[in-house]
Chain A
Amino acid sequence: MFSWDLLANAVVAGLLLGGFYAAVSLGISLIFGLLDIANIAQPAFLILGSYAAYVMNEAYGLDPILTGILFTPVFYLLGALVYRVYYGSFERRGEESLRGLVFFFGVLFIIEVSLSLKYGVDYRLVQTGYTGKSIEFGGVGIAFRYLVPCVVGVAMTIALYLFLGRTFYGRAIMAVSQDQGALRLMGADPVQIKTIAFGIGIAAASLSGALLISIAPVIPSTDRDYIGRMFAITVLGGMGSIGGTLVAAVILGVVESLMSTFFGPSWSLAVSFGILLAALAVRPAGLFGR
């Protein structure tokens, strides 16, 4: 069964998958890692992004990545709205832990069920001009279907990294995760900053959802597969570390790819949860934790 060719192919596929996983996890890294809001509805917004790309592709033949970018303002507003409800109902009253978690679980469920009511449970996929193409380097094939999402994912990671480090709002988001009182003294409103950060996190789901549906077919319940992946990557990467998110995403991508090549694809899902449980039990601070 084992061959070096197979191994090389699996590793390359895993690296590409990792870039895409980084795109998927940036939003939760921002929302959960930095803001400490347990938004387990994030994967549902991801799938919402996928369906936006699907609908626009069916109706106007738009490229999924273009749709993903076009829809970021809509998702941003949606995210800001969800955060405002969350803040008003839970965070302000100091009840965020238990009920907040249940709230997001409910939101996840509503989005998932709404999608299956509207579009059924058939698998949806968006085909693009580059979907079937690939290039080869010495026996290792690189499918454009994976390469493009990987490039976009890495670009998103770099953009978010620069935004957080170089801009006023980015730095304010970093600050709000550390000391709200100090931020208030600097003349910024923590709630406003958190609303912006939450909105950006959800907006990222628009683009990464579009990437998702151009890689593999999506059904409304696909979100459950990504809960584990997102949180595994965020925890392994060290809660809010953007560079750590990319590294953890690549690790997960490679391990999953190796598992599915050598043991069968049905085991690849267990990998993320295995990593998550191991990371939480052994090193909760993650690889790049503060």
Chain B
Amino acid sequence: MRHTAGTLLVGLAVVAAGIAVAMLRVNPYLYFAGYVILQYVVIATAWNILGGYGGYVNFGTPAFFALGAYTAVVLIQWIRAPLPVLLLAGGLVSALLGLGIGYLTLRLRGVFFSIATLALSIVLQTMIMNWDYVGGSRGLSVLRPSGPPFGNYVVFLFTVMVALAVGAVTVARFIERSWIGRGLSALRDNEEAAECMGVPTLRLKLFATTVSGFLLGVAGAPFPYYVTFVEPNSAFAIDYAVNALAMPMIGGTTSWIGPVIGAVLLGSAQQLATVTISSEMNLFIVGVVLVAFVVLAPEGILGLVRRLRGR
């Protein structure tokens, strides 16, 4: 119990620090970049709940992210719903999709599951591109609501993202430390054996895909207000799929801190590279770093640290 209270305090402290940073009014670009990095903290953490703990590699991150974003677009278009409603609705719709792919795991394991999630992403993108209400393939401009609670709107969104990142990491940490996390790692190592030992594998998988989907959807929900122009190619960008798995892989997939380390390092590096070199070069770097890590340091940075300490 004291442990939980401590976690809560640390979380609140981070949110408070985020708000303090928001009040500083430094170079506005920093908030813009910070938002993206924090968004990746949420995405990487969400991916890791299913991929790192459960061992199911999801290539369809863009589908969940974009579903959250487009749910928000629909609600904005329809009733100009406030941001908290967008977050909740985006999360719930993506959670439903997550539950759906959870049932897919009954028939599809390993590669087949991964390909199916990729398929899902492309099918969903095709559907959105043919749906005129949300702008179709041409995209759609979204007006930000006037008068954010404080600062300008980007600063406000940045603060919201700080809170979401803390929330996502807290959820991941809770899962990891509870019997759910132990059950997931059992089924990652050997699903048949886990099933035989009485681990409720289906329920755990459904839980993991749903929670993962929810968090990815929540990460996508503020996206329309952040970019103000939503089009399928940016919402379904393959960057999300690569980063979602590269960040936990680089940080370390076995602990909640791994995806956070990966997202902060790789996310900052990408922001730097985008400004100083080019946005394509930064994707190239992600690819090379990802391959280098899976080949040379399969346990990620956490594994390297552990190996150094062991000596």
Q: Which residues of B contact A113 (CB under 8 A)?
A: 280, 283-284, 287
- Indicate with 1 or 0, residue by residue over B106-143, a CB within 8 angstroms of chain A CB atoms: 01101110111011101100110110000001000000
Q: Could you say which of B107, B119, B238 contacts A228, with CB atoms under 8 Å apart?
A: B119
A270→B125 CA distance, assembly (Å): 9
Is there contact, CB below 8 Å, between A107 and B118? no
Contact with B along A255-280 (1 / 0, CB 8 A): 00000000010110110011011001
Q: Which of A96-104, A172-180, A189-197 contacts B (4 or more CB under 8 A)?
A: A96-104
Q: Does the CB pair A107–B129 fall under 8 Å?
A: no
- Decide: A267 near B130, CB < 8 A? Known: A95-B298, A109-B283, A276-B116: yes
Residues from chain A with Cβ under 8 Å of B291 in the complex: 103, 106-107, 110
Known: A110-B284, A110-B288, A114-B284. A102 touches B115 (CB 8 A): no
Chain B residues whose CB sits within 8 angstroms of the CB of A109 once the complex forms: 238, 242, 283, 286-287, 290
Give the interface centre of A98, A99, A101, A273 by most chain B CB atoms within 10 Å.
Answer: A98
Instruction: Given A228-B122, A267-B126, A284-B107, verify A277-B280 contact (CB < 8 Å).
Output: no
Q: Which residues of chain A have C-beta atoms less than 8 A from B114's C-beta?
A: 38, 40, 101
Residues in B neighbouring A103, C-beta threshold 8 A: 291, 294-295
The reply to whether B126 and A227 contact each other, CB–CB distance below 8 Å, is: no
Size bracket of the B interface: 35 or more
Chain B residues whose CB sits within 8 angstroms of the CB of A224 once the complex forms: 122, 238
In the complex, the answer to whether A284 meets B112 with C-beta atoms within 8 Å is yes
Interface set, chain B 257-311, CB cutoff 8 A to A: 280-281, 283-284, 286-288, 290-291, 294-295, 298
Max count, chain A CB within 10 A of own CB: residue among B59, B116, B288, B291: B291
**Proximity bits, A49-80, B CB within 8 Å = 1, else 0:** 00000000000000000000000000000000
- Contact assessment for A273 and B238 in the assembled complex, using a CB-CB cutoff below 8 Å: no
Q: Is the interface of A mostly helix, strand, loop or mixed?
A: helix
Q: Which residue among B59, B127, B295 has the maximum number of chain A CB atoms within 10 Å of its CB? A: B295
User: How many A residues have CB within 8 A of the partner chain?
Assistant: 39
Task: Check A269 against B281 for contact (C-beta < 8 Å).
Answer: no
CA distance A24 to B23 in the complex (A): 56
Chain B residues, CB < 8 A from A277: 116, 119-120, 123
Max count, chain A CB within 10 A of own CB: residue among B107, B111, B249 = B111
Is B66's CB within 8 Å of the partner chain A?
no
B98 at the interface (CB under 8 A from A): no
Cα distance, A244 to B51, chains bound together (Å): 33
Q: Which of A40, A95, A117, A269 contacts B122 (CB 8 A)?
A: A269
- A151 contacts chain B at the CB level, 8 A cutoff: no
Asked whether A106 and B122 contact (CB < 8 A) given A266-B129, A281-B107, the answer is no
Inside 8 A of B55's CB, which chain A residues have their CB?
97-98
Is the beta-carbon distance between B126 and A266 smaller than 8 angstroms?
yes
| Residue A116 lies at the interface, judged by CB distance under 8 Å to chain B | yes
A154–B295 Cα distance when bound, in Å, is: 37
Complex Cα spacing A221 to B237, Å: 11
Tell me, in angstroms, the Cα distance from A117 to B279 when the chains sit together.
Answer: 10
A272 to chain B, nearest CB (A): 8
Question: How far apart are the CA atoms of A273 and B119 in the complex, in Å?
Answer: 5
Contacts of A102 in B (CB 8 A): 57, 245, 249, 290, 294
Instruction: Give Cα A267 to B128, complex, Å.
Output: 11
**Within the assembled complex, what's the spacing in Å between the Cα atoms of A224 and B298?**
26
Chain A residues contacting B57 (CB-CB under 8 Å) are: 98, 101-102
Q: What residue of chain B has the Cβ atom nearest to residue A227's Cβ?
A: B118
CB distance from A107 to the nearest CB of B (A): 6
**A85–B294 alpha-carbon span in the complex (Å):** 11
A285 to chain B, nearest CB (A): 12
Residues of A within 8 A of B59 (CB): 105
| Assembly CA distance A95 to B57 (angstroms) | 14
Given A98-B55, A269-B126: A280 touches B108 (CB 8 Å cut-off): yes
B129 contacts across to A, CB distance below 8 A: 266
- Tell whether A105 pairs with B115 under 8 Å between CB atoms, given A99-B294, A110-B291, A266-B129: no
Given the complex of chains A and B, what is the CA–CA distance between A290 and B55 in angstroms?
28
In the complex, what's the smallest C-beta–C-beta distance from B221 to chain A, in angstroms? Answer: 25
Q: Compute how far the CA of A227 lies from the CA of B115 in the bound complex, rounded to whole angstroms.
A: 8
Asked whether A38 and B111 contact (CB < 8 A) given A224-B122, A273-B119, the answer is: yes
Cβ contacts under 8 Å, B246 to chain A: 106
Minimum C-beta distance from A42 to chain B (A): 12
- Residue of chain B at shortest CB distance from A114: B284
Given contacts A267-B126, A269-B122, contact A38 B249 (CB under 8 A): no
A9 at the interface (CB under 8 A from B): no
- In the complex, besides A40-B111, A266-B126, A277-B119, 5 extra interface pairs with C-beta distance below 8 angstroms are A38-B111, A95-B298, A102-B294, A116-B280, A276-B115
Q: Which residues of B contact A (CB under 8 A)?
A: 51, 55, 57, 59, 104, 107-108, 110-112, 114-116, 118-120, 122-123, 126-127, 129-130, 137, 238, 241-242, 245-246, 249, 280-281, 283-284, 286-288, 290-291, 294-295, 298
Can you identify 9 A-B contacts, CB atoms within 8 angstroms? A99-B294, A102-B57, A102-B249, A106-B294, A109-B283, A110-B291, A114-B284, A228-B122, A281-B104
By a beta-carbon cutoff of 8 Å, the part of chain A in contact with chain B is: 32, 38, 40, 85, 89, 95, 97-99, 101-103, 105-107, 109-110, 113-114, 116-117, 221, 224, 227-228, 231, 235, 264, 266-267, 269-270, 273-274, 276-277, 280-281, 284
A-B complex: 7 closest residue pairs judged by Cβ atoms: A273-B119, A106-B291, A38-B111, A110-B287, A109-B287, A106-B290, A113-B284
